[in-house]
Amino acid sequence: MDSVPSSSTGSSPVYLPATDPILMKLMVTGPFGVGKTTFVRSLSEIPTLHTEETMTAHGVPVDDISRTPGKTATTVAVDFGRLTLPAGDLVLYLFGTPGQRRFLPLWEDLARGALGALILADTRRLADAFDAMDLIEEAGLPYTVAVNRFPDTPPIELDKIRAALDLDPATPLIECDARERAGCLDALIALTEHVLDRLPQETAP
Protein backbone atom coordinates (compact mmCIF):
# COMPACT_ATOMS: atom_id res chain seq x y z
CA MET A 1 0.00 0.00 0.00
CA ASP A 2 1.35 3.39 -0.96
CA SER A 3 0.98 5.38 2.21
CA VAL A 4 2.86 7.52 4.65
CA PRO A 5 4.00 5.79 7.84
CA SER A 6 1.21 4.76 10.12
CA SER A 7 0.90 3.41 13.60
CA SER A 8 0.37 -0.31 14.12
CA THR A 9 -0.48 0.13 17.78
CA GLY A 10 -3.70 1.96 17.14
CA SER A 11 -2.86 4.45 19.86
CA SER A 12 -0.80 7.20 18.24
CA PRO A 13 -1.83 9.67 15.53
CA VAL A 14 -1.54 8.47 11.96
CA TYR A 15 -1.86 10.11 8.60
CA LEU A 16 -4.44 9.03 6.09
CA PRO A 17 -3.11 6.79 3.33
CA ALA A 18 -1.63 8.72 0.41
CA THR A 19 -3.83 6.77 -1.99
CA ASP A 20 -7.47 7.82 -2.19
CA PRO A 21 -9.08 6.03 0.75
CA ILE A 22 -12.80 5.41 0.98
CA LEU A 23 -14.22 7.38 3.90
CA MET A 24 -17.13 5.98 5.85
CA LYS A 25 -19.09 7.54 8.70
CA LEU A 26 -20.37 4.99 11.19
CA MET A 27 -22.31 5.37 14.41
CA VAL A 28 -21.57 3.53 17.63
CA THR A 29 -24.76 3.46 19.60
CA GLY A 30 -26.74 1.59 22.23
CA PRO A 31 -28.08 2.19 25.73
CA PHE A 32 -26.51 4.17 28.54
CA GLY A 33 -23.50 2.44 30.13
CA VAL A 34 -23.18 -0.30 27.51
CA GLY A 35 -19.60 0.59 26.59
CA LYS A 36 -19.85 2.94 23.58
CA THR A 37 -17.26 5.45 24.77
CA THR A 38 -14.94 2.60 25.78
CA PHE A 39 -15.37 1.00 22.34
CA VAL A 40 -14.44 4.18 20.42
CA ARG A 41 -11.47 4.72 22.74
CA SER A 42 -10.25 1.14 22.23
CA LEU A 43 -10.25 1.40 18.45
CA SER A 44 -9.26 4.89 17.46
CA GLU A 45 -5.87 5.48 15.87
CA ILE A 46 -6.03 9.19 16.67
CA PRO A 47 -6.57 10.80 20.06
CA THR A 48 -10.30 10.52 20.56
CA LEU A 49 -12.66 13.39 21.16
CA HIS A 50 -15.05 12.89 24.03
CA THR A 51 -17.75 14.99 25.61
CA GLU A 52 -17.89 13.31 28.99
CA GLU A 53 -19.51 15.10 31.89
CA THR A 54 -19.30 14.01 35.49
CA MET A 55 -22.45 12.32 36.71
CA THR A 56 -24.00 13.90 39.76
CA ALA A 57 -26.79 13.10 42.22
CA HIS A 58 -29.26 14.81 39.87
CA GLY A 59 -28.87 11.91 37.43
CA VAL A 60 -29.68 9.18 39.94
CA PRO A 61 -33.40 8.95 39.12
CA VAL A 62 -32.80 8.69 35.37
CA ASP A 63 -29.34 7.16 34.77
CA ASP A 64 -29.09 3.64 36.18
CA ILE A 65 -25.47 2.79 37.01
CA SER A 66 -26.24 -0.37 38.99
CA ARG A 67 -24.69 -2.53 36.24
CA THR A 68 -21.65 -0.30 35.78
CA PRO A 69 -20.77 0.94 39.27
CA GLY A 70 -17.37 2.25 38.08
CA LYS A 71 -19.03 4.71 35.70
CA THR A 72 -18.58 8.30 36.83
CA ALA A 73 -19.13 10.25 33.60
CA THR A 74 -21.58 10.21 30.73
CA THR A 75 -21.39 11.26 27.09
CA VAL A 76 -23.46 14.38 26.49
CA ALA A 77 -22.79 14.96 22.81
CA VAL A 78 -20.43 12.66 20.95
CA ASP A 79 -17.38 10.39 21.03
CA PHE A 80 -15.26 10.70 17.94
CA GLY A 81 -12.48 8.49 16.67
CA ARG A 82 -10.94 7.29 13.42
CA LEU A 83 -9.77 3.92 12.26
CA THR A 84 -8.05 2.86 9.05
CA LEU A 85 -8.81 -0.78 8.35
CA PRO A 86 -5.73 -2.97 7.98
CA ALA A 87 -6.05 -3.13 4.17
CA GLY A 88 -5.47 0.64 4.26
CA ASP A 89 -8.06 1.77 1.74
CA LEU A 90 -11.02 2.20 4.05
CA VAL A 91 -11.08 4.90 6.70
CA LEU A 92 -13.84 4.72 9.27
CA TYR A 93 -15.01 7.78 11.18
CA LEU A 94 -16.64 6.64 14.39
CA PHE A 95 -19.33 8.72 16.03
CA GLY A 96 -20.37 7.42 19.44
CA THR A 97 -23.75 8.69 20.61
CA PRO A 98 -25.11 9.48 24.04
CA GLY A 99 -27.28 6.61 25.31
CA GLN A 100 -30.14 8.46 26.97
CA ARG A 101 -33.38 9.38 25.21
CA ARG A 102 -33.13 12.97 26.40
CA PHE A 103 -30.25 13.42 23.94
CA LEU A 104 -32.35 12.29 20.98
CA PRO A 105 -32.11 15.56 18.99
CA LEU A 106 -28.33 15.25 19.07
CA TRP A 107 -28.57 11.66 18.04
CA GLU A 108 -30.50 12.64 14.93
CA ASP A 109 -27.80 15.12 13.98
CA LEU A 110 -25.12 12.48 14.43
CA ALA A 111 -27.01 10.06 12.17
CA ARG A 112 -26.85 12.46 9.23
CA GLY A 113 -24.50 11.08 6.57
CA ALA A 114 -23.82 7.86 8.46
CA LEU A 115 -23.70 4.69 6.38
CA GLY A 116 -24.25 2.22 9.19
CA ALA A 117 -24.28 1.66 12.93
CA LEU A 118 -22.79 -0.62 15.47
CA ILE A 119 -25.32 -1.24 18.24
CA LEU A 120 -23.80 -2.38 21.51
CA ALA A 121 -25.92 -4.56 23.78
CA ASP A 122 -25.55 -5.84 27.34
CA THR A 123 -27.11 -9.26 27.99
CA ARG A 124 -28.06 -8.24 31.54
CA ARG A 125 -30.56 -5.78 30.04
CA LEU A 126 -30.93 -6.84 26.46
CA ALA A 127 -34.27 -5.09 25.94
CA ASP A 128 -32.56 -1.72 26.40
CA ALA A 129 -31.04 -2.21 22.94
CA PHE A 130 -34.47 -1.98 21.27
CA ASP A 131 -34.53 1.81 21.46
CA ALA A 132 -31.33 2.10 19.44
CA MET A 133 -32.44 -0.63 17.03
CA ASP A 134 -35.72 1.22 16.40
CA LEU A 135 -33.94 4.51 15.78
CA ILE A 136 -31.42 2.97 13.41
CA GLU A 137 -34.10 1.07 11.52
CA GLU A 138 -36.16 4.28 11.21
CA ALA A 139 -33.06 6.00 9.82
CA GLY A 140 -32.82 3.17 7.27
CA LEU A 141 -29.25 2.30 8.21
CA PRO A 142 -27.76 -1.18 8.12
CA TYR A 143 -26.40 -2.26 11.49
CA THR A 144 -24.50 -4.90 13.35
CA VAL A 145 -25.13 -5.84 16.97
CA ALA A 146 -22.13 -6.42 19.22
CA VAL A 147 -22.77 -7.93 22.64
CA ASN A 148 -20.37 -6.32 25.08
CA ARG A 149 -19.20 -8.92 27.56
CA PHE A 150 -19.33 -7.86 31.21
CA PRO A 151 -17.79 -10.05 33.94
CA ASP A 152 -20.98 -11.06 35.75
CA THR A 153 -22.85 -12.14 32.63
CA PRO A 154 -23.69 -15.81 31.99
CA PRO A 155 -22.01 -17.42 28.95
CA ILE A 156 -23.22 -15.65 25.85
CA GLU A 157 -25.38 -17.73 23.49
CA LEU A 158 -25.62 -15.79 20.28
CA ASP A 159 -28.47 -17.89 18.86
CA LYS A 160 -30.69 -17.06 21.82
CA ILE A 161 -29.72 -13.39 21.70
CA ARG A 162 -30.51 -13.26 17.97
CA ALA A 163 -33.95 -14.71 18.68
CA ALA A 164 -34.56 -12.41 21.67
CA LEU A 165 -33.66 -9.33 19.62
CA ASP A 166 -35.63 -10.68 16.65
CA LEU A 167 -32.73 -9.88 14.36
CA ASP A 168 -32.93 -10.30 10.63
CA PRO A 169 -30.87 -13.39 9.70
CA ALA A 170 -28.62 -11.15 7.57
CA THR A 171 -27.79 -8.79 10.45
CA PRO A 172 -24.38 -9.67 11.90
CA LEU A 173 -24.33 -10.42 15.64
CA ILE A 174 -21.05 -10.81 17.43
CA GLU A 175 -19.55 -10.74 20.88
CA CYS A 176 -16.79 -8.42 22.03
CA ASP A 177 -15.21 -6.79 25.07
CA ALA A 178 -15.29 -3.04 24.52
CA ARG A 179 -11.97 -2.72 26.34
CA GLU A 180 -10.11 -5.06 23.97
CA ARG A 181 -9.12 -3.78 20.58
CA ALA A 182 -9.04 -7.08 18.66
CA GLY A 183 -12.67 -8.00 19.31
CA CYS A 184 -13.82 -4.43 18.67
CA LEU A 185 -12.00 -4.51 15.34
CA ASP A 186 -13.79 -7.73 14.36
CA ALA A 187 -17.12 -6.10 15.21
CA LEU A 188 -16.35 -3.09 13.06
CA ILE A 189 -15.13 -5.19 10.15
CA ALA A 190 -18.38 -7.19 10.31
CA LEU A 191 -20.33 -3.92 10.20
CA THR A 192 -18.26 -2.51 7.36
CA GLU A 193 -18.74 -5.63 5.24
CA HIS A 194 -22.46 -5.53 5.97
CA VAL A 195 -22.65 -1.87 4.94
CA LEU A 196 -20.67 -2.43 1.74
CA ASP A 197 -22.88 -5.40 0.83
CA ARG A 198 -25.92 -3.17 1.10
CA LEU A 199 -24.70 -0.13 -0.83
CA PRO A 200 -26.41 0.19 -4.20
CA GLN A 201 -23.97 -0.93 -6.88
CA GLU A 202 -23.75 2.52 -8.51
CA THR A 203 -22.66 4.14 -5.22
CA ALA A 204 -20.50 1.25 -4.00
CA PRO A 205 -16.83 2.20 -3.96
Ligand X SMILES: Nc1nc2c(ncn2[C@@H]2O[C@H](COP(=O)(O)OP(=O)(O)O)[C@@H](O)[C@H]2O)c(=O)[nH]1
Residues found near ligand X in the complex (CB under 6 A): 32-38, 68, 70-71, 74-75, 99, 148-151, 177-179
- Per partner kind, with CB cut-offs from 5 to 8 A, the member of Mg ion, ligand X, none near residue 107 is none
Helices (H) and strands (E) in the chain, counts: 5, 7
Paired with 23 in beta bridges are: 91
The Cα–Cα gap between 193 and 190 comes to 5
From 71, 21, 28, select the one nearest 48 (Cα to Cα): 28
Nearer to Mg ion, 34 or 92 (CB): 34
Which of 44, 75, 97, 100 lies at the binding interface for Mg ion (CB under 5 A)?
75
* Partner that binds at residue 149, options ligand X, Mg ion, none, CB closer than 5 to 8 Å by kind: ligand X
CA torsion sign for 170, 148, 78, 109 is positive
Applying CB under 5 A, the span of 1-9, 35-43, 55-63, 171-179 interacting with Mg ion comes to 35-43
Helix, strand, or coil here: 190? helix
Q: How far is the CB of 71 from ligand X (least distance, A)?
A: 4
CB of 36 to Mg ion, least distance (A): 5
CB 178 within 8 A of CB 39: yes
Please report how close the Cβ of residue 75 comes to Mg ion at its closest, in angstroms: 3
Residue nearer to ligand X on the CB measure, 25 or 71: 71
With contacts defined by CB under 5 A, name the span among 9-17, 36-44, 54-62, 166-174 that binds Mg ion. Answer: 36-44
What is the Cα 165 distance to its own chain's centre? 17
Q: 70 contacts which partner out of ligand X, Mg ion, none, CB within 5 to 8 A by kind? A: ligand X
Check if the beta carbon of residue 143 is closer than 8 Å to that of residue 192: no
Q: Is 29 in the site for Mg ion (CB under 5 A)?
A: no
Residue 38, interface with Mg ion (CB under 5 A)?
no
In the three-class reduction of DSSP (H, G, I as helix; E, B as strand; rest coil), residue 101 is classed as helix
